[in-house]
Structure 1
Amino acid sequence: MSARSALPVIATATTAALLLAGCTSTESTDSDGSKISLVSSGKLTTCTHLPYEPFQFKEGKKVVGFDVDLVDLVAEELDVEQEIVDTPFDGIQSGEDLNIRKCDVAAAGMTITKVRDENMDFSAPYFEATQALITKKGKPYRSLADLRGRKLAVQEKTTGEVYAKEHGDGVKVVQFEDLALLLTAVKTGQVDAGINDNGVLYDYVKDNPDTDVSAEFDTGETYGIGVRTGNDALRKKIDAVLEKARDDGRYDAIYKKWFGAAPEKTEKS
C-alpha cells in the first residue's frame, strides 16, 4: 500500500467520526434470546464489491450469488432481510466500512489474511480458494516466469496482487479496480494475462471459450465473512448458521447451485 499524506488521513478519520455520530444501531433478537446489534432496523446489511461472479453479481436488478445465498441464511435466522451495499473493495478489506457502520457484515469472496484479521473479525472459513492465471486461448503463459517483461492484470488490494508482486519477477503488473475490468483487459488483449481467485476465473471461462485458465498457484486461501472487531454475537451467529447449513445439506445445495457440483467431502472451508 502506498504512503498517504497526513491530510487525507485526517479527513478520513473526521468522516468516520461524523458517520459514527449520526449512526444509530438497532437490535435483532436471536432465536436463543440474545441481542445482536444491526446498523438498520429489520435488515442485515452486507458490504460487497460487484461483480465477483459467482459469489456476488447482478442478475437484472437483483444481486445474486453464492455469498448472497449464504448470508441470506443468517438473515433468515435473525428474521430480517439482507440488504446489499456495493462499495469499493478497499473499504471492505481494510475494515473501514464495518467500523463506520456502513454494514454489519462483509461478504465479498474475501480471503482471510493476517492483515485483514487485524482490521476485522472473521467467521470460520466457508470456502477454499487459490490463485490462478487467465489468458486468451492458445497463449503460452503457464507460469509467472513465462510473463517476464509482459503485462499481468491484477485487482487492487487483493491477494492476487500480493502474489503477483511477490512472485512475478520482471512482470509488469497492471492494476484494475474490479474483476470485470481485469477480465475485459485479458479478453481484449490489453494485457497478456490476469491473476485472481480460481473460482471466479473458472466461472468466467465457461462462458468465454476464447479464454483459458492456464495455471493455478497453491496459495491455500480460505474465505471468511467479516464483522466489526469485537462483534462476537454476530460472528458466533454466522458460524452457527453455517455449521448447521453444512450439517443439514443446505450448504451443499447452495454450492452445487453456483459451482455445478457439491463440494468434496474432505473440504472444511
Structure 2
Amino acid sequence: MSRSGRLIQAAAVAAAASLALAACGGGSGGEGDGNGDGDASGDLELITAGTLTVCSEVPYPPFEIEDTSAPSGYSGFDIDLVQAIADSLDLELVVQDVGFDAIQGGTAYASGQCDMGASAITITEDRQANLDFSEPYYDSLQSLLVAADSGITGIADLAGQPVAVQATTTGEAYAQENAPDAELISYPGDAEMWPALQGGTVVAILQDLPVNVTHAQEDPNYVIVEEYDTEESYGFAFGKDTNPNLIAAVNGALATMRDDGSYQELYDSYFSAEG
C-alpha cells in the first residue's frame, strides 16, 4: 500500500468522527447535518449559494490542469477530487485561478475570492496559524529534476548553480536548508519553472515529486535524480475559524469516497505509475 493509502485510511477514522459530531450538532451551534441539505439552509456559508468556489493555482500537473472538456474548465487530481466533493454536496463547482501565495497565506479567503483552496497545499504549523485544513488527502515527496545530460546526480552538485523553486512553498524551504550554496531562483509556479529548465535558465527544479514525474514522463530528456521524504501531507485550505460546517462536509465527503473506493480509483488513475 502507498504512503498515501495508509495516511488516508488513518485519516478516515478522524474524518468520520468529525462528521458524526457535526451531524449531531443540531443545537445552538447551528451546524446542521454537514451535507448538501445543510447548504440549503445556509449552514455552509458559501460565497455564492449553491456553488463551491475553489481557488487553485493552474497549471500544476497532475494536480491542476486547464481542461476545456471538464465542467469547471479544469481537471487534475485536486480538481477531480473537489468536483466529486461538490457533486456529493449537490453544489456547482467554480474554480478560480489564483496565485499560490494568496491561497496559502489566507488572503484569498479573507477577500471573498473562494470558499476553499485546492492547490497541492502542504499542511504546516505555520500555515495552520492562518488557515484551517481538511483531513489530509495526499502524501508527497520533494524531488530534483534535471536534464539527463547535465551530470548532476543530486543536491550536493548544486553549489553555485541556478536552481528553480516555487516561492513560499515547502520545496523552497527545503532547498534553502539543504542546498544553501545553490543559487536559488524563486518563481511563482511550475508554469514558469518548467520553461526555465527547458531554456537553460536554471539547471534543476526542486519541487513536489508528482509534478516532476509528469515532466520526466512527458520529456525523456529530463530525469529525476533524487527524492526527499519530507513527510508532507496535502489538505484543502479554508479561512481561519470561518466555516467549520463546510470543513465537516468536505471531510465527510472524503470519508465516503474512501469507504466506497472512489478515492482509490481516482488516486490510481493519476499516480499508479509512480509505483
TM-score for both structures, normalised by structure 1: 0.83
CA contact under 8 A between 1:51 and 1:58: conserved in structure 2? yes
Q: Residue type matched to 2:56 in 1?
A: T
CA distance in 1, matches of 2:159, 2:168: 22
The corresponding residue for 1:48 is 56
The corresponding residue for 1:130 is 141
The corresponding residue for 1:5 is none
Residue 139 of structure 1: how far off its partner (Å): 2.1
Q: Residue type matched to 1:248 in 2?
A: D
Q: SS of 1:135's equivalent?
A: strand
Change (3 A) 1:49 1:31: closer
Residue 244 of structure 1: how far off its partner (Å): 1.1
Mapping for residues 92-241 of structure 1, pairs under 5 Å: 92-230=103-241, 231-241=243-253
Residue 32 of structure 1: how far off its partner (Å): 5.9
CA distance in 2, matches of 1:129, 1:208: 22
CA distance in 1, matches of 2:252, 2:146: 40
CA distance in 2, matches of 1:45, 1:31: 15
CA distance in 2, matches of 1:248, 1:233: 23
Mapping for residues 67-78 of structure 1, pairs under 5 Å: 67-78=78-89
The corresponding residue for 2:256 is 244
Q: Residue type matched to 2:167 in 1?
A: E
Q: SS of 2:264's equivalent?
A: helix
Residue 145 of structure 1: how far off its partner (Å): 1.7
List runs of 5+ in structure 2 lacking aligned partners.
Answer: 1-31
CA contact under 8 A between 1:28 and 1:78: conserved in structure 2? no
Residue 59 of structure 1: how far off its partner (Å): 2.4
CA distance in 2, matches of 1:242, 1:65: 17
CA distance in 2, matches of 1:139, 1:219: 25
Q: SS of 2:66's equivalent?
A: strand
CA distance in 2, matches of 1:87, 1:45: 12
CA distance in 1, matches of 2:147, 2:222: 4
Q: SS of 2:202's equivalent?
A: coil
TM-score for both structures, normalised by structure 2: 0.81
Residue 229 of structure 1: how far off its partner (Å): 1.4
Aligned residues: 237
CA contact under 8 A between 1:28 and 1:37: conserved in structure 2? no
CA distance in 1, matches of 2:152, 2:174: 16
List runs of 5+ in structure 1 lacking aligned partners.
Answer: 1-26, 265-269
Q: Which has the higher contact order (CA 8 A, sep 6+)?
A: 2
Residue 37 of structure 1: how far off its partner (Å): 0.9
Residue 186 of structure 1: how far off its partner (Å): 1.2
| RMSD (Å), alpha carbons | 2.0
